[in-house]
Copies of this chain bind each other. A is one copy, B any other.
Amino acid sequence: MSGYAITPEPPYYAVIFSSQRTEGNNGYGEMADKMVELASKQKGFLGVESARDDVLGITVSYWDSLESIKNWKENAAHIVAQEKGKSIWYQGFALRVSKVERQNFFEM
């Protein structure tokens, strides 16, 4: 996982996934890496950003359209991860789909 994503000019879509994990790893790290790898091969994928501390994890993925988001949601391996997430990895989460209207980058 690198730094912030270099995305094209808006408009495009952002999926904001904010999660509180359960105790222990239980194969989570491996799955998370695998999901990023899979997502980045999906049509319409524009980038991903992720940060995690003791309290919360936030992953924001960027997409060209709602259809691309729908396709990723329905990806077979991703469905398995979603189910495991609910039963094993997550205490709770918020998932938001938003349309990016403007962006700014700053580089020192």
Contacts and interface: CB of A to CB of B under 8 A. Distances in A.
Q: Chain A contact residues (Cβ within 8 angstroms of B): what range? A: 35 or more
Interface string A58-79: 1010000000000000000000
A20 interface: yes
Dominant secondary structure at the A interface: strand
Contacts of A91: 107-108
B92 A96 contact: no
A18 B26 CA distance: 28
A67 B60 CA distance: 24
A10 B34 CA distance: 31
A36 to B, nearest CB: 13
A3 interface: yes
**Copies of this chain, count:** 2
A16 to B, nearest CB: 6
Contacts of A93: 4, 105-106
A86 interface: yes
A101 B102 contact: no
A35 interface: no
18 contacts: A1-B55, A2-B55, A3-B55, A4-B19, A4-B93, A4-B94, A5-B18, A18-B49, A51-B57, A92-B106, A94-B106, A95-B103, A95-B104, A95-B105, A95-B106, A96-B100, A98-B100, A98-B101
